[in-house]
């Protein structure tokens, strides 16, 4: 596939690399070497629990050795890329470490990803294999293998699927394989992205293990801790902040939850005496509600980490109270930087900020979010809101094979443009206040609007599409697509049909627009909006306004219609045909005048076209000045 070009891994400049080594951040140890050490130190302790399988450290180490030899026997060689899409179960860690020992670079796909995303990962990475689980994903992986020539193997966990290799067969007697370069790539994380499909993030053994080690220390993990992976474990948060890798680093136990819902998680907390887990704010609230109704013994839980999406201070406080454990806010990103509130931070900091960075050598700059196309990168005054730029000992310097994108995603001196709007407190804590990138954070799942727009535009009856995030009480944000039909297709395009269309394109469910509005033009009044970014910002602003203004405007319109008809307002339904109510042309002319008070410049003909309160309120929200 010729789409991706450029270098695999952008190294840190020599002077900084030397400094990170001298400071003891980078210790020259690989994933495989770490596991060997852990197996020596904690041999008979439980490392992993997944379903009914329990693996000691020695067993985990042994499986990883056999898998490494198995991958080698399949022809997987150092530097080869392998798309890894496994759910939270006992296979995940042995496979990850096995690939790592074979020198391969796992590409950490999420179980939610479907064919379109897998094809993109395999194609961009030039992957030699895809490892997945379950018949549906296996079928998608086989279709990917049929179109991406580099893919030689589809390996499926837990079952024999025609045309694939059973994961159980990827095994061979342990053999000496050269330990990979600790300064080289260990794995490829995925970015939430804002332009098109997710970018691949090359993380090195040195940098990733530094973030894992320090995260485990900051969270006070000890051998008697039990970490529950409730979120999909290939995501950076449950993998490394401190996540299952941090748990192993501390000699603790990592428990894999097959799904993140309270019933499943709480059963495991009770059964395994879980002490630490990590969730997104939406789940935290669900946990708090479920805990209030009792039924499970959650007394072992000492720390709930909340991150991945904005969490309001009151919410954080309520959750901590409901679960009766300490709460920690975590602000992190697959590209690197992770911030934690600390155990000894005062409550207003724990509840009111998203923490401070892991490393004394994390450099954070808060700059003027002026023009994203031509950023000045001038720092704002201390305590002011600005766009966050960061670089440091575990933040990447470039995406994998994405030279053109890297030119704008990073500053010339190597800072990553996070796209987040933040404020830093006098204590150095970060408050995340919003985003400047075109990305929707739907309950922690990141959606690049451009990717979804491209899928919508692929529909033969769609001329153009703009996708924006609108506030959602439960999810934080949900996605709203505005679609302009091609030619006279407006009669045939439906919201449901378009959502189904996006689904059949083989993308993760969370990317299917929550709402679709078919419109004859984009709801924009400003002139000269040529850039999609500005258009989106305008549409998002109006969509937001509309969400908040619509109920008010509906009542204002209803009152005026009632006055014109001489009937009580509460007898008029939003969607009833008002012409049938006796709203004749004379009365309509009167109404035109009255709606002018709401800032709507309309005509009697326009009102007669769709004679309902709902439609007119819509007009007022869209075109009124009120
Ligand atoms: C607001 N927004 C947040 C927070 C992330 C630990 C924790 C999370 C991630 C993660 C991670 C937020 N409040 N507490 O990788 O190791 C939004 C920001 C950020 C983007 C990164 C980790 N925590 N976010 O969420 O790569 O917008 O990583 O830039 O998925 O999530 O998303 P992602």
Say whether 132 sits in a helix, a strand or coil.
Answer: strand
571 and 497 belong to one structural domain? no
Q: Are the C-beta atoms of 622 and 523 separated by less than 8 Å?
A: yes
Top-confidence range, 237-241, 280-284, 285-289, 450-454: 237-241
DSSP readout, 561-587? HHHHHTS-GGG--TTS-STTTT--HHH
In a domain, 468, yes or no: yes
**pLDDT tens per residue, range 577-597:** 999 988 988 899 999 999 998
Question: Is a pLDDT exceeding 90 seen at residue 371?
Answer: no
Of the three residues 491, 506, 530, the one that is the final residue of a domain is: 530
460 and 504 belong to one structural domain? yes
Is residue 595 within 6 Å of ligand 1 at its C-beta? no
- Segment 544-567 mean pLDDT: 88
Take residue 35 and report the two structure tokens written for it. Answer: 């596991």
- Helix, strand, coil proportions of the chain in percent (round to 5)? 40, 20, 40
Is residue 239 within 6 Å of ligand 1 at its C-beta? no
What value, to the nearest 5°, has the Cα angle with vertex 521 and ends 516 and 527? 125
Q: Among candidates 326, 304, 249, 324, which has minimal Cα distance to 38?
A: 249
Distance 353 CA to ligand 1 centre (A): 14
- Segment 436-449 mean pLDDT: 88
**pLDDT tens per residue, range 320-334:** 999 999 999 999 999
How high is the pLDDT of residue 3?
A: 43
Distance 280 CA to ligand 1 centre (A): 9
102-106, 380-384, 424-428, 603-607: least confident range: 603-607
Could you tell me the pLDDT band of residue 355, with boundaries at 50, 70 and 90?
A: very high
Could you tell me the pLDDT band of residue 523, with boundaries at 50, 70 and 90?
A: low
Question: Is a pLDDT exceeding 50 seen at residue 162?
Answer: yes
Distance 331 CA to ligand 1 centre (A): 5
454 and 514 belong to one structural domain? yes
Could you tell me the pLDDT band of residue 51, with boundaries at 50, 70 and 90?
A: very high
The residue to which tokens 């495989």 are assigned = 32
Q: Among candidates 276, 286, 290, 394, which has minimal Cα distance to 333?
A: 394
Question: Is a pLDDT exceeding 70 seen at residue 530?
Answer: no
CATH of the domain at 476: 3.30.300.30
443 and 466 belong to one structural domain? yes
Question: Is a pLDDT exceeding 80 seen at residue 626?
Answer: no
From the number of C-beta atoms within 10 Å of its C-beta (0-12, 13-18, 19+), residue 143 rates as: middle
Distance 191 CA to ligand 1 centre (A): 10
Of the three residues 484, 500, 530, the one that is the final residue of a domain is: 530
**Alpha helix (H) residue ranges in 23-152:** 31-42, 57-73, 92-101, 115-125, 135-147
Say whether 61 sits in a helix, a strand or coil.
Answer: helix
Is residue 440 within 6 Å of ligand 1 at its C-beta? no
From 214, 306, 333, 335, give the residue whose CB has the most ligand 1 atoms within 8 Å, as the site to mutate.
333
Question: Is a pLDDT exceeding 90 seen at residue 522?
Answer: no
Distance 28 CA to ligand 1 centre (A): 27
Question: Is a pLDDT exceeding 60 seen at residue 619?
Answer: yes
562 and 594 belong to one structural domain? yes
Is residue 243 within 6 Å of ligand 1 at its C-beta? no
Backbone phi, psi, residue 586, to 5°: -65, -45
In a domain, 467, yes or no: yes
Domain count, the chain: 2
547 and 521 belong to one structural domain? no
Is residue 246 within 6 Å of ligand 1 at its C-beta? no
Domain containing 524 equals 439-530
Is residue 242 within 6 Å of ligand 1 at its C-beta? no
Q: Among candidates 309, 278, 288, which has minimal Cα distance to 475?
A: 309
Beta-carbon contacts of 98 under 8 Å, excluding residues fewer than 6 positions away, are 63, 64, 65, 66, 67, 68, 70, 71, 170
In a domain, 475, yes or no: yes
520 and 466 belong to one structural domain? yes
Is residue 420 within 6 Å of ligand 1 at its C-beta? yes
110-119, 245-254, 366-375, 433-442: least confident range: 366-375
520 and 554 belong to one structural domain? no
Take residue 514 and report the two structure tokens written for it. Answer: 């929550």
Could you tell me the pLDDT band of residue 174, with boundaries at 50, 70 and 90?
A: very high
Distance 333 CA to ligand 1 centre (A): 5
In a domain, 608, yes or no: yes
Q: Are the C-beta atoms of 81 and 114 separated by less than 8 Å?
A: no
The residue to which tokens 């023009």 are assigned = 371
Could you tell me the pLDDT band of residue 1, with boundaries at 50, 70 and 90?
A: very low
**d(C-alpha 168, C-alpha 67), whole Å:** 9
| Rg from Cα positions in the chain | 27
582 and 559 belong to one structural domain? yes
How high is the pLDDT of residue 345?
A: 98
In a domain, 568, yes or no: yes
CATH of the domain at 564: 1.10.1200.10
Q: Are the C-beta atoms of 565 and 583 separated by less than 8 Å?
A: yes
DSSP readout, 240-271? HSSHHHHHHHTT-EEEE-SS-SHHHHHHHHHH
Q: Among candidates 372, 370, 368, 385, which has minimal Cα distance to 532?
A: 372
Q: Are the C-beta atoms of 517 and 480 separated by less than 8 Å?
A: yes
277-291, 373-387, 542-556: least confident range: 542-556
Q: Are the C-beta atoms of 187 and 233 separated by less than 8 Å?
A: no
Question: Is a pLDDT exceeding 80 seen at residue 159?
Answer: no
Could you tell me the pLDDT band of residue 533, with boundaries at 50, 70 and 90?
A: confident
Is residue 331 within 6 Å of ligand 1 at its C-beta? yes
Distance 307 CA to ligand 1 centre (A): 6
- Segment 350-374 mean pLDDT: 92
Distance 444 CA to ligand 1 centre (A): 7
Question: Is a pLDDT exceeding 90 seen at residue 160?
Answer: no
Q: Among candidates 573, 569, 620, 626, which has minimal Cα distance to 592?
A: 620
Average pLDDT in the chain: 92
511 and 468 belong to one structural domain? yes
In a domain, 239, yes or no: no
Counting from 1 in the atom list of ligand 1, the atom nearest the Cα of 190 is 26
Of the three residues 466, 495, 530, the one that is the final residue of a domain is: 530
Counting from 1 in the atom list of ligand 1, the atom nearest the Cα of 243 is 16
Q: Provide the percentage of residues in the chain whose pLDDT is more than 90.
A: 77
Beta-carbon contacts of 512 under 8 Å, excluding residues fewer than 6 positions away, are 499, 502, 503
Beta-strand ranges (E) seen in 407-551 are 416-424, 430-435, 439-442, 445-448, 462-472, 476-485, 515-518
Is residue 183 within 6 Å of ligand 1 at its C-beta? no
How high is the pLDDT of residue 139?
A: 96
Backbone phi, psi, residue 472, to 5°: -135, 130
466 and 506 belong to one structural domain? yes
In a domain, 588, yes or no: yes
Take residue 608 and report the two structure tokens written for it. Answer: 């007669």
495 and 457 belong to one structural domain? yes
Question: Is a pLDDT exceeding 70 seen at residue 356?
Answer: yes
Q: Among candidates 289, 270, 16, 239, which has minimal Cα distance to 108?
A: 239
In a domain, 485, yes or no: yes
């Amino acid at each position: 596939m010729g789409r991706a070009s450029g270098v695999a891994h952008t190294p840190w400049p020599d002077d900084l690399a030397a400094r990170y080594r001298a400071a003891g951040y980078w210790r020259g140890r690989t994933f495989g070497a770490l596991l060997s050490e852990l197996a020596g130190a904690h041999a008979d302790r439980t490392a992993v629990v997944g379903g009914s399988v329990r693996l000691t450290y020695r067993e985990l180490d042994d499986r990883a050795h056999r898998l490494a030899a198995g991958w080698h026997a399949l022809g997987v060689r150092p530097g080869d890329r392998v798309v890894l899409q496994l759910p939270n179960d006992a296979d995940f860690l042995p496979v990850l470490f096995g690939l790592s020992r074979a020198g391969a670079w796992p590409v950490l796909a999420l179980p939610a990803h479907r064919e379109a995303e897998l094809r993109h990962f395999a194609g961009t990475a030039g992957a030699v294999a895809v490892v997945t689980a379950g018949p549906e994903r296996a079928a998608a992986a086989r279709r990917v293998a049929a179109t991406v020539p580099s893919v030689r193997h589809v390996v499926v966990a837990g079952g024999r699927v025609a045309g694939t290799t059973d994961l159980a067969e990827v095994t061979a007697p342990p053999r000496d394989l050269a330990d990979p370069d600790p300064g080289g790539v260990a794995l490829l994380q995925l970015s939430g992205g804002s332009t098109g499909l997710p970018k691949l993030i090359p993380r090195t053994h040195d940098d990733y293990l530094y973030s894992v080690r320090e995260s485990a220390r900051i969270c006070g993990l000890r051998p008697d801790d039990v970490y529950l992976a409730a979120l999909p474990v290939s995501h950076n948060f449950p993998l490394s902040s401190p996540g299952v890798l941090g748990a192993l680093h501390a000699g603790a136990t990592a428990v894999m939850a097959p799904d993140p819902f309270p019933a499943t998680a709480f059963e495991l907390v009770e059964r395994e005496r879980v002490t630490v887990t990590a969730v997104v704010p939406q789940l935290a609230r669900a946990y708090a509600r479920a805990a209030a109704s009792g039924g499970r013994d959650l007394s072992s839980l000492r720390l709930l980490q909340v991150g991945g999406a904005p969490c309001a201070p009151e919410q954080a406080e309520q959750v901590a109270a409901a679960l009766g454990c300490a709460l920690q806010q975590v602000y992190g990103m697959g590209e690197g930087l992770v911030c934690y509130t600390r155990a000894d931070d005062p409550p207003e900091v724990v509840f009111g900020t998203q923490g401070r960075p892991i490393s004394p050598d994390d450099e954070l700059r808060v700059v003027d979010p002026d023009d994203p196309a031509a950023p000045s990168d001038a720092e704002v005054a201390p305590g002011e809101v600005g766009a966050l730029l960061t670089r440091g000992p575990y933040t990447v310097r470039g995406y994998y094979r994405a030279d053109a994108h890297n030119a704008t995603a990073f500053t010339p001196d190597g800072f990553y443009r996070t796209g987040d709007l933040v404020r830093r407190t006098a204590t150095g804590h970060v408050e995340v206040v919003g985003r400047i990138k075109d990305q929707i954070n739907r309950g922690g799942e990141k959606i690049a609007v451009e990717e979804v727009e491209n899928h919508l535009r692929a529909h033969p009856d769609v001329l153009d599409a703009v996708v924006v995030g609108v506030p959602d009480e439960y999810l934080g944000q949900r996605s709203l697509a505005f679609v302009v039909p091609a030619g006279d297709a407006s009669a045939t395009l439906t919201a449901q049909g378009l959502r189904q269309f996006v689904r059949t394109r083989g993308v993760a469910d969370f990317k299917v627009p929550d709402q679709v509005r078919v419109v004859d033009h984009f709801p924009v009044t400003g002139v000269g909006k040529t850039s999609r970014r500005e258009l989106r910002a305008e549409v998002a602003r109006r969509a937001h306004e509309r969400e908040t203004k619509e109920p008010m405007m509906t009542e204002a319109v209803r009152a005026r219609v009632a006055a014109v008809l001489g009937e009580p307002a509460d007898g008029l339904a939003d969607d009833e045909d008002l012409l049938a109510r006796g709203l004749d042309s004379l009365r309509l002319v009167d109404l035109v005048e009255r709606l002018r008070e709401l800032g709507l410049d309309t005509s009697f003909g326009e009102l007669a076209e769709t004679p309902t309160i709902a439609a007119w309120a819509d007009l007022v929200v869209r075109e009124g000045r009120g």
